[in-house]
Amino acid sequence: MRDIDGSYGEGGGQLLRTACALAAITGEAVRLHHIRARRAPPGLAPQHLTAVKAVAALCEARVEGLELRSPELSFHPGKLRGGEFHFDVGTAGSVTLVLQALLPAALHAGVPVRIQLAGGTDVRAAPPLDYLRHVLLPLLAQMGAEVRLTLRRRGYYPRGGGLVEIVVQPRVLNGLRLETAGPVKQIRGIAHVSNLPMHIATRMQQTAARLLADIAPVEIEQQILGRDQAIGQGGAIVLWARTDHALIGSSEVAQRGVPAEFIAGTAAQALREDIVSGATLDLHASDQVLIYCALSQGPSCFRARTLSSHAHTTLWLLQKLLPLRVVTTPADAATHVDIVPG
C-alpha cells in the first residue's frame, strides 16, 4: 500500500481524486491522511465522497474511512470493469471534478463505460461543463481518447440538479506533443445564463469580444436557458482559441452581485495572457492533462504560461505512484514541460 500525505502542496481534493484513479488503474492500494488539510473545513466534502464512490464502483474497491469530513481514507482496488453507472453528488458539488477521477479509470476499464452523473455543472472553483466539452475533451481526443458527453440539464449552486451522460470507450493513449502554438486563427466561446435576464449573457459576450478582437476573429455564442433546461439560476462564459498546433481555453462562472463585464473580462484576460506567453496549453489544461500524459504510451510535451500549485502537486503524486520522468525548463515567457512515462 502506498501512503500519501493529503496535505502536500496545495493540499486539495485533486490529490485525492488522482490518487484513487491511479489506484484503480494500477491495482495498488493507497492510504491518504490529512485529506484536504489546507481547506476549510478540511476532510471529505460531498463531491469528494461521490468521486471516490464512483471510482470504487468501477473497480469494485474496498474503501475505509469514506464518510463526510473524514481526514483519512484507504482505497483497496479490485479489477476495473465497464458497464452502466449512475452517481449523484446530492448537492451542487461539481460533476466535472468527479469526472477528473472517473475519466482516467474509465479509459482503462477494458470495455465501454456509460455514466450518468448528477450535480452542479457550472460552479465556482471547478471547470465549467463547456470547458470540459470544448477544451479538455478535444485535447484528450488528440491523444486517442474517445469520450462522448451529452448535457441533459444544467445545475448551479446551491441546488445542483444538473445531469450529464458520458460514454467512454477504452483506449491506449498516445503522448500529447504540443511544441509551439503558432498564430491564433479564431477565438470562440459560449456565454450562457439560466433563468436570468438575457442581457447578462449579452454583456458577457460583448465584453469578451471587445477585449479579444485585436488577436483574431471572435465568435461567442449566447445561450439563454429556461426551467426545462436548467435547475436554478446561474451562468458562465467559456472561451477557447485555436491555432495551427494548439487549443487554449479559459472560463469564469457567474457570481451573484458580480457584474457580467467583470466575469467576462477575467476570462478574456486569462486567455490573452496564455496566448501572449506562447503557451500551447492554458493554465488549467496544463494541470488536468498531466495524469493522461503520465499514463500514455509515449512522451508528451507542452508549454504553459506557468505551472499552478495544482500542477506541481499532481506531478509530485504522479512521480510517487508511477515510473515517470518530468523535466521543466524556462521557455521565453512560458515553461516547457517534458513528460516521459516508463
pLDDT in tens, 257-295: 999 999 999 999 999 999 999 999 999 999 999 999 999
- Asked if residue 301 is part of any domain, the answer here is no
Per-residue pLDDT for 38 more than 90?
Answer: no
pLDDT tier, 90 (very low <50, low <70, confident <90, very high otherwise): confident
- Asked if residue 9 is part of any domain, the answer here is yes
- Asked if residue 119 is part of any domain, the answer here is yes
Verify that 203 and 84 share a domain, yes or no. no
**Average pLDDT of the segment spanning 109-114:** 96
pLDDT at 91: 80
310 tagged catalytic: yes
Verify that 113 and 230 share a domain, yes or no. no
Long-range contacts of 60-67 (CB under 8 A, 24+ apart): 61/23, 61/24
Per-residue pLDDT for 209 more than 90?
Answer: yes
CA distance 129 to 53: 21
- What is the value of pTM for the model shown? 0.96
Overall residue count recorded for the chain in this entry: 342
- Asked if residue 178 is part of any domain, the answer here is no
- Asked if residue 284 is part of any domain, the answer here is no
End-of-domain residue from the set 255, 277, 299: 277
| Percentage helix, strand, coil for the chain under 3-state DSSP, each rounded to 5 | 30, 35, 35
Catalytic residue among 76, 284, 310, 336: 310
Verify that 53 and 191 share a domain, yes or no. no
CA distance 306 to 328: 11
Strand-pair partners of 184: 243
CA distance 59 to 68: 22
End-of-domain residue from the set 277, 293, 317: 277
Verify that 38 and 159 share a domain, yes or no. yes
End-of-domain residue from the set 277, 312, 335: 277
Grid cell, residue 271, equals: 486567455
Phi first, then psi, for residue 98 (nearest 5°) are -60, -40
Buried b (16+ CB within 10 A) or exposed e, 309-324: ebbebbbbbbebbeeb
Verify that 13 and 103 share a domain, yes or no. yes
Domain hosting 32: range is 2-171
Per residue in 179-199, pLDDT tens? 999 999 999 999 999 999 999
pLDDT tier, 39 (very low <50, low <70, confident <90, very high otherwise): confident
Q: Which of 77-86, 90-99, 144-153, 188-197 has the lowest mean pLDDT?
A: 90-99
Verify that 87 and 224 share a domain, yes or no. no
Verify that 191 and 167 share a domain, yes or no. no
Mean pLDDT of the chain: 96
What's 267's domain CATH number?
3.30.360.20
Calculate ∠ Cα 175-136-208, nearest 5°.
135
Grid cell, residue 131, equals: 470547458
